[in-house]
Amino acid sequence: MDSTESSATEAARSLLGGIIAEVCGACEANCCHQGTMVGSHDIPRVVKAALLRPAFAEQVRAGLKQRAVRLRADLAALERVARLLNARYADNAAGALAASHPLDRLAQVLQDWEGFIRFIEEEFQPDAAGLTRCLQFSAIRFTTLRILRELPQAEDALLTIAGPETSFRRGRRGARPDVCLFLVGECLLGGAKPSKCADFYCRDNPGLVRAVTERMTLDQFTLAHVQQTSGEGALRALEHELALGARYHQPKVIFGASPELRAELLRLALASAPAEQRAALREPAPLPQFFASAGEVERQLVQTASGRIVVHDCVAVDPAGIYELCVGVGRARAKNPELPPTLIFADVLRVPALAPHPLWADRAMAQPLSAVDLWRIT
């Protein structure tokens, strides 16, 4: 990557990060109420990053322990409100509310809240089981607030009692959603940032789709997702991914790999299949530019037999081609989460694109760039 491209990549990454920080959560819409932008389909990205980089795994563990401090402040405020409510409804204990009183359910969910805090303080590991449990916290927070809303003035009491050290803030529709569980000062997940955060399916106002397409070009957005890695780093990452299994396969567009590195990456991918099934679906000659429609990508990935890998060699790929590739990968994964290893080798990322992509220009859908890895070999 030359200095001009490197500068453009850093500028694009900074621009995207600033827009996300400014807009995300401002609308108070339902997607924010999930409590984390990490979804079950994002877990493989985080698990792979933790296996490859022990420092990353420790960063996530330490960050969640720090997050537990605020969760304990939240719980203390909730327990104070629960005590006030118990005193208020004490005379109704034997009345009509006794059979299904919200306070009984509130006591249970606060126990769940305490259990989750202990988990991230003492037991959390950045593996599939640990991350899956983290995703469940959003249900605990949502259920807690829903129960409070069943009781007159209970949510308002919480917002009055809760101090600045808690996550409870007054919004247009009661308590505002908290920021993502993994946002502690900055995103704990870094390069393993989840697809929902990177691709912003948000369409509210203010919304990330509107903000990014107004302030960024597709070229800039694509550059913001290019990761620099060494040849050794690429080999190690692919080796770990293949060892984890097909659900962890992330199609890759690799720029600037030497012929020797291409051959080694291909050898690794082929070695992951049983000997009798090893084969590569490969074009007979390099393409001048890779471009396949989303439908073509989907069909190829869905129809590729087990044990085979998909390889394309090309001179260039442009952002419009990457857009179609990512849409196709997303569709294929929805039909079969176990995608074949896919390697697209290109000499250059051609920016600006030869033509703008109509779906980007028309804001017809979000950009699913995290469906693939974009690697620039340094």
Q: What are phi and psi of 184, to 5 degrees?
A: -125, 90
Asked if 178 and 241 sit in the same domain, the reply is no
Q: How confident is the model at residue 36 (pLDDT cuts 50, 70, 90)?
A: low
Cis amide linkage into residue 286, ω under 30° from 0: no
Asked if 149 and 223 sit in the same domain, the reply is no
Asked if 307 and 256 sit in the same domain, the reply is yes
pLDDT tens digits along 286-305: 778 888 898 999 999 998 87
- Record the tokens describing residue 233, joined without a space: 């780093």
Residue 87 CB neighbour total at 10 angstroms: 9
Asked if 169 and 134 sit in the same domain, the reply is yes
Domain span at 228 = 217-377
- Record the tokens describing residue 311, joined without a space: 């390889």
- The answer to whether 360 and 213 have CB atoms below 8 angstroms apart is yes
Number of domains in the chain: 2
- CATH number, domain of 316, equals 3.40.50
Secondary structure class of 334 (helix, strand, coil): helix
Asked if 255 and 191 sit in the same domain, the reply is no
Choose among 210, 167, 187, 145: nearest CA to 42: 187
- Residue 215: C-alpha distances to residues 16, 227, 361 (Å): 9, 22, 12
pTM reported for the whole predicted model: 0.74
Asked if 294 and 343 sit in the same domain, the reply is yes
Asked if 119 and 243 sit in the same domain, the reply is no
Asked if 156 and 241 sit in the same domain, the reply is no
pLDDT tens digits along 328-340: 998 898 888 888 8
- Give the C-alpha separation, 246 to 243, whole Å: 9
